[in-house]
Amino acid sequence: MASREETITRKGDSKGNHYLSVCESFLAKIDSRDPFWVQTLRQDALARFRELGFPTTREEQWKYTNVRAIQEANFEPAPREALPKIKKEEVEKLSTCPLRWHRLVFVNGVYSKEFSRLSDLSGAFHVGTIQDAIRTKPKMLEQYLAQCARYDRNGFAALNTALIQDGTFIYMAEGKEFETPIELVFLTDSERGNVMSQPRNLIVFGRSSRATLIESYFSFSDDPYFTNVVTEVVLGDGAVCDYVRLQREGRKAFHISTTQVEVGRNSVFSSVAVDLGGKLVRNNLTVELTEEGAQCDLNGLYLTSDDQHVDNHTLIEHPKPNGTSRQLYKGILDGASTTVFGGKIWVHQDAQKTDAHQTNKNLLLSEHATVDTKPQLEIFADDVKCTHGAAVGQIDEDSVFYLKSRGLPEAKARQLVSYGFANEVVERIKVPSIRAELNQIVLERCERQGSGKAVAS
Amino acid sequence: MLEICDLHVNVDGNEILKGIDLKISKGEVHAIMGPNGSGKSTLARAVAGHPDYEVTQGQVIYQGKNLLDMEAEVRAREGVFLAFQYPVEIPGVTNAYFLRAALNEWRANRSLEELDAADFLELLKEKMKLVGMDPAFGNRAVNAGFSGGEKKRNEILQMLVLEPKLAVLDETDSGLDIDALKTVASGVNHLRAPERSILIVTHYQRILNYITPDFVHVLVGGRIVKSGGKDLAFRLEEKGYDWVREPASAGEMES
């Protein structure tokens, strides 16, 4: 009871909230030449954040994920002038992607020109930072920024919006196809302080444009830090977007992501989101199939161990007819880790002929690991094809025996079964180099975890 | 090769095999026939070392060693192969990856060098041809989404790659159309050799038209009630299993 009252007091007390003062001092220092609409947007978001605060476990959506530790840790924005000294080779090593790919690298949330590569960009599209776009492309930015990622109900999105400055802005002109993927790389080195970064990404696909995006998170130190990212993706009619999200934060990191996608008529959004790192991770992925014939294919994989907590919440909105959505999220849990899956598919009244399938499967390698899974279907149309399901289980003993009967040792048989379980998601990554890299990572993780003998149920 | 003496096996606490005696010499092909529920598959799985099949009495000597002392994977590396009645699906693991891992375990056991991916693929393609499998199956997940016939072919493929000394085929013929049955049988015949023994567990005589056994045994109620030559299979087909259920013929040895 005491803690409940405490939370309420804290929410109402602006002076008590460290993050409010962070926002206030940010807004006091920010370039006054920024367009008026940007300044207003930040002020509005701050006002909303002041009202919302961080979510508590009393909210249904946050029942299993307690973010008080973030509130109490008082993370600070990294000083822009004194970024950690990271060697370029080290950054290059992080990615197995060919060097010719476009890459935007952020260190502690701040864009690094040194590590980034934006070669051969013609005028038909734009790839750059939000910060630059505020100055050079304000009209284009204004049309989309914070239009789909709403901050009125989500404290983390409100905080991020109040602090809008760093991140990526990509605009693909009509019919434009990007041959090579675009990488967004977020590195954190928190050795010299409790840093937080608030990246903001906006990616706009013009009609019939096509590109692959890879968003990845890495850590250079084993200290606590806080990443709170908001990514907005808008797909015009007939556009195709392949999205890979690779979260390999440090083991003491807090990672909150909000990804909001709008899919236009006959457009296709496919994503594979992989969570390997972090101490406390919460991903909110919302996809709205805004026009007829829109499709999405959302895949997720989380491999957790020790005391990691990974929470994936997804929402797929089907407001119009003939939309298709596919969703497969899988997790392998070891140690005393906990994971949450909350997946909602909302089929509105007009959304006839909706075709939606959702699956969440979890493999428990330890009796101390916990899964909370809640697939949800809300259907208001009558002519639809929708299924959903969730499963939590141990390694299938028949599979283990089958592999052993071919000569594989017990431990290897178990590793192979869990590797296969995870690989079903990895296989859906369309970029060969990323797929191969993840395949290797998953194999190594399974080899390390492989000891996990089935626990008696 | 294999000598089973007074083997009793329990499944979930129920005694299924009630004293099996069976001797298979090198190069021989034996068929075990019997009605549903007679314990045929239990015998096959117990020989392969399935943990759910508890041996309560008796012994199994394989190449002079006590087979029951070995874990399933050791039996496999020593050359025992079970073609499953219901092959298991392993999503996310390709056939080629799995088979190469298995073969390399087997090779490591014999102090042979690992086969690299390229050499292995050559070998795999060659064996796939023998069972009429499209090479594309090498890149598909083990048995995942395979039809019944494809799964059985895949079992025979694994057998051809691993070249066991004792192959046990558990109802490999069930659910196969005539073409698939012929392909599977020719795969098995390909493996027939003086140093290799084969035990075919089946409900129907049909597969024995293509793989001629040296001996046929009839298993009823957990006991071998009749043994004989290949003709026994034809007589069973004609007369049905009721014929051997007659107490008078129990244990009778023909030919």
Angle at A130 between CA A124 and CA A136, to 5 degrees: 60
Using the structure block, give the residue that is written with the tokens 């997940």. Answer: B141
**Which residue on chain B is closest to A439 by alpha carbon?**
B92
Q: What percent of chain A has pLDDT over 90?
A: 75
Q: What percent of chain A has pLDDT over 70?
A: 93
Q: Who among B71, B73, B88 is closest to A398 (CB)?
A: B88
Contact B249, B218 (CB under 8 A): no
Tokens of B109: 């056991």
- Would you call A419 and B82 a contact, using CB atoms and an 8 Å cutoff? no
pLDDT of A456 over the 70 cut: no
Q: How confident is the model at residue A124 (pLDDT cuts 50, 70, 90)?
A: low
| C-alpha span between A221 and B13 (Å, rounded) | 56
Q: How confident is the model at residue A16 (pLDDT cuts 50, 70, 90)?
A: low
Tokens of A396: 């299938």
Please give the order of strands across the beta sheet that includes B53-62.
B14-24, B2-11, B53-62, B65-66
Residue A101, φ and ψ in degrees, nearest 5: -70, 150
Taking the Cβ of residue A407 and every Cβ of chain B, the question of whether any pair is shorter than 8 Å is answered with yes
pLDDT computed for residue B240 by the predictor: 80
Q: How confident is the model at residue A191 (pLDDT cuts 50, 70, 90)?
A: confident
pLDDT computed for residue A13 by the predictor: 45
Under DSSP, is residue A205 helix (H, G, I), strand (E, B) or coil?
strand
pLDDT computed for residue B171 by the predictor: 92
**Segment among A233-247, A273-287, B177-191 with least mean pLDDT:** B177-191
Q: Who among B72, B90, B105 is closest to A417 (CB)?
A: B90
Amino acid code (one letter) for B161 = V
**Which residue on chain A is closest to B51 by alpha carbon?**
A401
Taking the Cβ of residue B215 and every Cβ of chain A, the question of whether any pair is shorter than 8 Å is answered with no
CATH superfamily of B2-253: P-loop containing nucleotide triphosphate hydrolases (3.40.50.300)
Note the pLDDT tens digit of each residue in A19-75: 999 999 999 988 778 999 999 999 999 999 999 999 999 999 999 999 999 999 999
Taking the Cβ of residue B48 and every Cβ of chain A, the question of whether any pair is shorter than 8 Å is answered with yes
All residues of chain A having their beta carbon less than 8 Å from the beta carbon of residue B102 are: 403, 406-408
Using the structure block, give the residue that is written with the tokens 């493929």. Answer: B157
**b/e per residue A220-253 (b: at least 16 CB within 10 A):** bbebbbbbbbbbbbbbbbbbbbbbbbbbbbbebb
Integer Rg of chain B from CA = 18
| C-alpha span between A198 and A381 (Å, rounded) | 39
Q: Who among B77, B82, B92 is closest to A421 (CB)?
A: B92
Contacts of A115 (CB under 8 A, 6+ apart): A86, A88, A91, A103, A105, A107, A185
- Would you call B98 and A427 a contact, using CB atoms and an 8 Å cutoff? no
Strand locations in chain B (E): 2-11, 14-24, 29-33, 53-62, 65-66, 80-83, 90-94, 141-142, 166-170, 197-202, 215-220, 223-228, 252-253
Q: Kindly list the domain boundaries of chain B, sorted by start residue.
A: 2-253
| C-alpha span between A41 and A54 (Å, rounded) | 19
- φ/ψ region of A433 (left if φ > 0, alpha if ψ in -120 to 50, else beta) reads alpha
- Would you call A403 and B91 a contact, using CB atoms and an 8 Å cutoff? no
How close B41 comes to chain A (CA, Å)? 15
Q: How confident is the model at residue A450 (pLDDT cuts 50, 70, 90)?
A: low
| Nearest alpha carbon to residue A345 among A320, A377, A371, A373 | A377
pLDDT of B254 over the 60 cut: no
| C-alpha span between A146 and A141 (Å, rounded) | 9
One DSSP character per residue, B54-111 reads: EEEEEEEEETTEEGGGS-HHHHHHTTEEEE-SSPPPEEEEEHHHHHHHHHHHHHHHTT
pLDDT of B246 over the 80 cut: no
- Would you call A405 and B82 a contact, using CB atoms and an 8 Å cutoff? yes
All residues of chain B having their beta carbon less than 8 Å from the beta carbon of residue A422 are: 92
Integer Rg of chain A from CA = 22
All residues of chain A having their beta carbon less than 8 Å from the beta carbon of residue B93 are: 416-417, 419-420, 423
Strand partners, A257: A229, A283
ipTM of the shown complex? 0.93
Tokens of A272: 């594979």
pLDDT computed for residue A127 by the predictor: 87
